């Protein structure tokens, strides 16, 4: 897999060896020899996970957020040595901290400890990954980071939060002080939560029925409850109950969601055009992004004031604040409608990530498989992902039939395969 980055480079977060902004996607050459399967962006840093379970970070090193044992900035990707052999399956970033989940369900956090967002019972920062011991017996499946808080989804579908409680962002039912240790979000128990998202000062959780819950700061309508009120406990977004959601992403002041049929809804702050409706108007309830109606979107990600959508054909669309070139259109123009990133057109993008002022994409160098379909059957999706013998490096045998696949593609698109791959269960 090839990693591309663009946007603000002042902190070295693009991984290109310098601090220049990039207005178009540029290959991160230092990762050419790595098979990257996951990417994530922080406020001024970036983290990736490769197919061996190794983690690389670069960018702004303040507070130890890069995990290298110091506060130094790194302008090219560098291996987080203390995570080697930990079998990492997921990585993510907040503004000033970073987190990683292992195959066995352990959680490691590092970076700035203010507000207790690392989950170690205090506000002490860590410049190397540090095990969150209170979760050791609970089996973490996913982690998401906001600016001042952290959220995890357990394998039993329970949600835990910690860190800042201001405006109800922790979903604990109050706003007093900080939560220094992980605590269950009671309102989400038995809801069958399957995905979590966080950014800035609000949080979202998605159930296996496609129901979306949000909580935290309500300013600009980012929670989708037709008001700007803060929400101190998780509340379902009622206007989306008729449109089951497949994936959700939180931005600094807005939220975006992809439905089961590949449509995109956005809501919240629209000052920079980040909602994609052709204007700069705030929306307090989810609104369909009409410009993408003829596309099947499979992944959405939000920066502080811009949005990125990936389609099933591997095309990338961006919109919102264009400062520092983070939209990838070779300019700094503000865009209020989804616009194709020409520099990636014709390439097979398999994942996108963004946060504050930069964007990253993961590209399959071999363009030999068909588009992914959101509502296909399992066998259809397997056909989509595999059965390409010319570049196969793994073979499935199903009822005497040989189905050819590529480890990197499967790991990037299928979390279950990635787990099997990183834990050494596949020869």
pLDDT digits (tens, 9 = 90+) for 92-136: 999 999 999 999 999 999 999 999 999 999 999 999 999 999 999
Q: In this predicted model, which residue has the larger pLDDT, 231 or 395? A: 231
Query: CA 134 to CA 38: how far, in whole Å?
Result: 26
pLDDT higher than 90, residue 12: yes
**Mean pLDDT score of the chain:** 91
Nearest to 127 by CA among 66, 77, 41: 66
φ/ψ (deg, to 5) at 357: -125, 15
- The pLDDT value recorded for residue 365 is 84
Share of the chain above pLDDT 70, in %: 86
Element of type H or E holding 251: none
Which of 189, 190, 79, 193 minimizes the C-alpha distance to 144? 193
Task: Report, as an integer, the average pLDDT of 240-268.
Answer: 98
Query: What pLDDT is stored for residue 22 in this prediction?
Result: 99
What would the mean pLDDT of 79-89 be, rounded to a whole number? 97
pLDDT in tens, 168-181: 999 999 999 999 99
Could you tell me which of 232, 240, 244, 246 has the C-alpha nearest to residue 203? 232
**34 pLDDT more than 50:** yes
Mean pLDDT of 40-49: 98
Q: How confident is the model at residue 366 (pLDDT cuts 50, 70, 90)?
A: confident
For the segment 89-104, what is each residue's pLDDT rounded down to a tens digit? 999 999 999 999 999 9
CA distance 204 to 301: 13
Q: What's the confidence (pLDDT) of residue 287?
A: 99
Structure tokens at 142: 């996913």
CB proximity list for 212: less than 8 A, separation 6 or greater: 204, 205, 206, 224, 236, 237, 240, 245, 248, 257
Per-position DSSP letters for 259-316, written without gaps between them:
ETTS-EEEEE--TTSTT-SSS---EEEEEE-GGGTTS-EEEEEE-SSEEEEEETTS-E
Question: Do residues 160 and 185 lie in contact, with contact meaning Cβ atoms separated by under 8 Å?
Answer: yes
3-class DSSP assignment, residue 39: strand
Parallel/antiparallel/unpaired status of strands 297-302 and 55-59: unpaired
Q: Is residue 403 over pLDDT 70?
A: no
- Cβ neighbours of residue 191 closer than 8 Å, sequence gap 6 or more: 157, 205, 207, 211, 213
% of the chain at pLDDT higher than 90? 84
The confidence band for 289, taking pLDDT boundaries of 50, 70 and 90, is very high
CA 208 → CA 199, 212, 260, 321, 338, distances in Å?
Answer: 22, 10, 11, 33, 28
- Structural domains of the chain, with CATH: 2-366 (2.130.10.30)
Residue predicted with more confidence, 407 or 108: 108
* pTM (2 d.p.): 0.87
For the chain, report the end-to-end CA distance as a whole number of angstroms. 20
Compute the Cα dihedral for 75, 81, 87, 90 and give only its sign.
negative
Close Cβ partners of 81 (under 8 Å, ≥ 6 residues apart): 68
């Amino acid at each position: 897999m090839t990693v591309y980055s663009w946007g603000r480079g002042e902190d070295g977060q693009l991984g290109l060896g310098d601090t220049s902004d990039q207005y178009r996607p540029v290959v991160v050459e230092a990762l050419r020899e790595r098979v990257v399967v996951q990417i994530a962006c922080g406020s001024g840093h970036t983290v990736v996970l490769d197919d061996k379970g190794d983690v690389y970070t670069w960018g702004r090193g303040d507070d130890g957020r890069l995990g290298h044992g110091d506060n130094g900035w790194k302008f090219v990707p560098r291996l987080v040595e203390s995570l080697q052999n930990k079998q990492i399956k997921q990585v993510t970033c907040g503004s000033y901290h970073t987190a990683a989940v292992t195959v066995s369900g352990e959680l490691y956090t590092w970076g700035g400890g203010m507000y207790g967002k690392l989950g170690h019972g205090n506000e002490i920062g860590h410049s190397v990954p540090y095990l969150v011991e209170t979760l050791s017996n609970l089996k973490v499946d996913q982690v998401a980071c906001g600016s001042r808080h952290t959220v995890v989804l357990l394998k039993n579908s329970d949600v835990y939060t910690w860190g800042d409680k201001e405006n109800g962002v922790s979903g604990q039912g109050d706003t007093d002080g900080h939560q220094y240790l992980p605590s269950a979000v009671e309102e989400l128990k038995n809801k069958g939560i399957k995905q979590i998202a966080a950014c800035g000062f609000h949080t979202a959780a998605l159930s296996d029925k496609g129901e979306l819950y949000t909580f935290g700061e309500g300013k600009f309508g980012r929670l989708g409850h037709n008001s700007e009120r803060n929400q101190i406990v998780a509340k379902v977004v009622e206007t989306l109950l008729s449109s089951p959601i497949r994936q959700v992403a939180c931005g600094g002041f807005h939220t975006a969601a992809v439905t089961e049929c590949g449509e995109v809804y956005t809501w919240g702050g629209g000052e920079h055009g980040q909602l994609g409706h052709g204007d700069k108007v705030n929306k307090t309830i989810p609104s369909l992004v009409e410009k993408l109606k003829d596309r099947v979107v499979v992944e959405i990600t939000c920066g502080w004031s811009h949005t990125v959508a990936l389609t099933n054909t591997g095309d990338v669309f961006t919109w919102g604040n264009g400062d520092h070139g983070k939209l990838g259109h070779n300019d700094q123009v503000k865009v209020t409608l989804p616009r194709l990133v020409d520099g990636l057109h014709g390439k097979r993008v398999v994942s996108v990530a963004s946060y504050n002022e930069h964007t990253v994409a993961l590209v399959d160098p071999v363009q030999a498989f068909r588009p992914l379909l959101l509502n296909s059957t399992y066998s259809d999706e397997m056909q989509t992902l595999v059965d390409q013998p010319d570049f196969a490096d793994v073979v499935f045998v199903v009822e005497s039939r040989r189905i050819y696949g590529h480890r990197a593609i499967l790991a990037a698109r299928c979390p279950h395969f990635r787990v099997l791959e990183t834990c050494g269960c596949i020869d």
